[in-house]
Amino acid sequence: MKFPITIAPNFFSDTHKILKIANELDYVVDEPFYPGKKTIFLNHIDMGLFYHLSRKVLNLFFEIDDDIGKLQYNNVEWAFHKIKYDDIKDMRKGELFIHKDHPEHLTGLIYLSHNENLGTSFYLNEKTPSFHKMNGPICGLDKNISDEEMENLYKENNSGFKLMSEVRHIFNTAVIFPGCVPHKINLEDLRPGEERLTLHFLFREIGYYTFPYVRCKLEDL
């Protein structure tokens, strides 16, 4: 693990600007087994914005203009994501799966709507993760799986974790975490007429001479 789970409130100084950008874009990209729609990746829309956002996140962990470190990052994705009530109303209840992303990745999201009933939960592993915990569906929208099968899969998948923290979906808060931490999106309480807006990111490769959590571990007693 190279990074701690990080919560950064008041992430954008000017939320009108970021909301204006979010509202001018088209939400046309579907992701399998994940409700709602995303924009195309922001590097295909505005490279200046893409670099600004990437540096903004990395500034939390690195002196990014430091000559010694020569920070490098590649394979980075940024996209806005909207989930409406209609996107989840047919989702089978309680079927949001605890899962991990790729262990080497740094990922996260900035909450850009007021949905304090929603959020993201983080867990500790209490047993070795099964196949589904790494690669299974993230939610119960996969209609190829029967109700009974889904219930069993859900029980099997979501057992064996201890809840560590529930981050509430507070407007303009960034939640940043390494892909190795088990997590789950909390969407069950999205109500009719409500919409969840987030800005997602994923860094697949970050190269630097040291990392925050590695530095922390070096100071063991």
Interacting residue ranges for Fe ion, rule: CB under 5 A: 101
Q: Which of 202, 167, 193, 201 is nearest to 18 (CA)?
A: 201
Q: Which is nearer to Fe ion, 53 or 202 (CB)?
A: 202
Tokens at 42, concatenated: 């922001």
Q: Work out how close the CB of 165 gets to Fe ion at its nearest, in angstroms, rounded to a whole number.
A: 15
Cα separation, 62 vs 183, in Å, equals 24
Q: Which is nearer to Fe ion, 55 or 204 (CB)?
A: 204
Q: Which is nearer to Fe ion, 77 or 101 (CB)?
A: 101
Q: Work out how close the CB of 37 gets to Fe ion at its nearest, in angstroms, rounded to a whole number.
A: 17
3-state SS of 93-155 is: CCCECCECCCCCCEEEEEECCCCCCCEEEEEEECCCCCHHHHHCCCECCCCCCCHHHHHHHHH
Q: Work out how close the CB of 99 gets to Fe ion at its nearest, in angstroms, rounded to a whole number.
A: 6
Q: Work out how close the CB of 130 gets to Fe ion at its nearest, in angstroms, rounded to a whole number.
A: 16
Q: Which is nearer to Fe ion, 101 or 194 (CB)?
A: 101
Q: Which is nearer to Fe ion, 46 or 101 (CB)?
A: 101
Angle at CA of residue 168, ends 147 and 9, nearest 5°: 145
Q: Work out how close the CB of 154 gets to Fe ion at its nearest, in angstroms, rounded to a whole number.
A: 16
Tokens at 93, concatenated: 């209840």
Tokens at 162, concatenated: 């201890």
